Amino acid sequence: MQAGMAGGMRFTANYSNKVDAKGRVSVPARYRALLEKSEFPGIVVYESFKLPCLEASSREFMDELSQRLAEDFGAFEDEKEALATTILGAAFDLPFDGGGRILLPQSLMQFAGITSMAVFVGVGEKILIWEPAAWEAYRDEQRSKARAAAQRLGALRPRAVAAAGGGQ
């Protein structure tokens, strides 16, 4: 396992998987291989408070998040209550079944608009779980932002070379 936040887990790539009529969906094998090393052999899933999708992580990530909330905010601060209620209070511990599937609660599926397919997207310490069309729209929007950001980074390159003494 790689070192870092979320118990050392870093999720990358994206995968589309079928959701059956009961709400069962297979977690991508690459993600399961990391998550199965967790103290909880499953995945913790909750509604994103920023995006129209679900977020998922290891139990260790959720524990670290809870600890950060306790350290960074006073026990009765409104911001702590908002974050704790929105994330921790709505998180579902979803164990893997024998086939590596989880059972998504109906409330989570409705929130994200997931019906027959789900797209799992690794974004570092978390996994985003999207309805396919919503994922494509979000991905395209992020690509546009990334192109703009990359152009700004490219503009910095000559100054960095000049500062190092190579741009004379």
pLDDT of residue 13: 97
105 token code pair: 């609660």
pTM summary value: 0.82
Q: Which residue ranges of the chain lie beneath pLDDT 70? A: 1-8, 154-168
Distance (Å) of CA 12 to CA 15, 70, 101, 144: 10, 29, 19, 20
Return the pLDDT at 132. 98
Taking only the tens place, the pLDDT of each residue in 47-93 is: 999 999 999 999 999 999 999 998 898 888 899 899 998 899 999 99
- Rounded-to-integer distance, Cα 112 and Cα 9, Å: 24
CA distance readout (Å), 86 to 70, 81, 168:
15, 8, 54
**Which domains does the chain carry?**
14-153 (3.40.1550.20)
Report the alpha-carbon distance of residue 59 to residue 67 in Å, rounded.
12
